[in-house]
Structure 1
C-alpha cells in the first residue's frame, strides 16, 4: 500500500520549493526529487536538457517481457500570480486540502509516483515489465524542452505504456487537447490623444481580435466526449507608450486548445482569418500572427 502520509508530506515539501517557469525554474526541485529517490533505494539517472536543467529517470527493473510502465511528471510550475488565500509556497492543509502552487499541477502527481515506487520496492513484488519514473523540466513552456529531450535521446520507447500524472479529477483520461501558442502583433499609428483621429489605435484593434476570436471558438461545433469543447485564452496583452498617446503597436500571446476532428495546422489560418477581417475596418493597420513553441496536436490513446 502507498503510504498516504508520506505522499502528503512529499507534496508539501515539493510545493515549498519554488520552481516557477518562467522564473527560478527547477534545479532545486530536481535535487530534492533525486535525493528522495536515493532515500528509497533507487539510483536516478540525470540527463542534462539545458544548463542546470535536468530530467530524472528512475527504474524498477521487471522480470518479464511486458512493455515498460512509464510514470511521467514534471517539476516546473506556472508563475504564482496573485489572489491567493493562503501563501503559495507554504503547502498548508486547510479542510483536508493542500494549498500551494503546483499542489495539483503537478507536484502532487510527482509525490504519488515516488510513493508508488517506494511501496513497490517495500513489497518485494517483481513487476512483469520495468516501472519507470520520469521527471521532466520545462513542461510549462512553449517548447517543452524536457519532453523533447526525452524523445530526441530515445529515452521513451514506442511500446511504452505512459501515465501522465496530471490532475484529472481522479478520472483516467485517454485523450489530450491539441495546443498552439501564438504571438500576435498589431501595428497602428501613433498620435497625440488630443488628435486621436489621426492615429490608428492598435489596442482597439487587438481587443476586437481577442473578442471576435473568443466568440468564434466558443461557437465551433466540435465537442469531444472526454475533452469537451475548444478553448481560447489571451494570456498576455501589451500596448501603448503613454496615457495620452494613441498606441502605435500592440502585442498579445494566445493559447488555443483544440479537440478532434480539428487539426493543429488549422489554428494559425483560423486566427489569421479573424485578424484580417478585423483590420479591414482600420485602413493602414497591419497584423502578424506567428506560432510560438512546438505545435501539439490532439491525441487519443
Structure 2
C-alpha cells in the first residue's frame, strides 16, 4: 500500500534470501546458533567486566564497549530475520525500517570506532607503559566512547532523511533480510545518486579513518616491539595484541566483501551470496569476539574459571 500523494509505502516486504526461500529454515539454524553464542558471550563479558575489580582497566573498558556494541548490532537485525525465516512474516513498517537502518549503520560505525580505540589503547600500553594509567583515565575513556558514538549518530542520521525523501513507485519489495541503506534506496524510482555518494563518503569517514588510525598504531607498536632486547618481552607484547588483531580480521573482512560486492560486484556474484554475507558481516564479529578474548586473554579466562568453579571453601582456612 502506497500513499498516492507522496509515493511513500506504508510498509516494506523483506523477501529474505532471494532464490533460497525454500531453504530459509536451514539457513536460520547457523544464524540462530551464532546469535545465541553472541548474546551469551557478550553479556557474559559485560557481567564479568562489571563485577570483577581486577578487570577495571582501560583495555577491558574498551572491550565492554565492544561487547555492548556487538549486542545491539546483531539484535537490530537477527530477531526480525528469524521472523522471516521461521514464520514467513516479511512485512516491516516504513518507519520501523528506517529505525532499523539507523541502528544497523550507527552501531557498525561504532564497532569500527571501538576497534580503533582499542588499537590506540594497545599503542599506549606498549609504547608508554609507565604512563598508561595517567594517559587513559576513566574520563578520557568515557569521552572517547561518547565521541565515537556521536560520530556515528551524526553521520548516519542523514541516511534516514535521504531514504525517506525518495518516491517508491516501483513497489515495496526489498530483496534482503533487513533494511540496509542502499537496498532500500535501490527499489526507489527516484534519483539515488546522492544516497550512493553520501554512503561512500560515510564509509570513508568512518571505516577509512579508523583503518588509517589502526594501521598507524600497529606500525608504531611494531617499531617499539622490534627494539625490545628480550625475545620473551617481544612475544609478550605481541601476545597482548593477538585478540585485537583477530577482532579486526573478523570485523573488516566480511565488511569489505559486502561493501565492494554491493557496489562493484554487478552480476558476477549471486545476490543470494551477497545477502548471506551481509548477515554474516553483522553476526560474525559479535559471535567471535567474546570467544577470542576469552581464549586469548589470561585475566578473562581466569575470571571465567573462578566464576564457574564457585566460591572457595573458607572453613578450611579458618575464616
The normalised TM-score by structure 2 is: 0.24
Give the strand-richer structure, 1 or 2: 1
More helix by share: 2
Give the TM-score taking structure 1 as reference length: 0.25
